[in-house]
Amino acid sequence: MKSLIATILVALFFVLALVFGARNEQLVTISYFVAQGEYRLPVVLGVVFLAGFLVSWIFAMYHIAKLKLVLRQANKRIEQFEAKNPSSLASDKKQLNDPETKELNA
């Protein structure tokens, strides 16, 4: 749900940048290392905004993928531990359901 809201917000900012640029039809001079070009303001705003969004999205996807990988590895370790020590898990579950333990934890 959060990602949907964030995507809609980014799209609205992009449309806002295009509307702002459409109202300002000036030519903007952009100097490169070797060349120079004149572009309309809406094109420059749209390209810069889109480039910034894509760079941010790439970094976010990298970090999300890394976190998912760490979570998957942790879940595998938990499953391996549970497979090796089934008796300790049974005693832990029994202890959690014990009324005296619940009173101490409350």
pLDDT profile of the chain (106 residues), mean per 10: 84 79 81 87 82 91 96 94 76 62 56
**Within 10 A of 46 (CB to CB), how many other CB atoms are there?**
17
pLDDT score recorded for residue 22: 72
pLDDT score recorded for residue 11: 84
pLDDT score recorded for residue 41: 80
pLDDT score recorded for residue 104: 57
Q: What's the rounded Cα separation, in Å, for the pair 46 and 105?
A: 57
CA dihedral over 18, 22, 23, 26, signed as positive or negative: positive
pLDDT score recorded for residue 101: 56
- Beta carbons of 23 and 41 less than 8 angstroms apart: no
Q: What is the pTM of this model?
A: 0.56
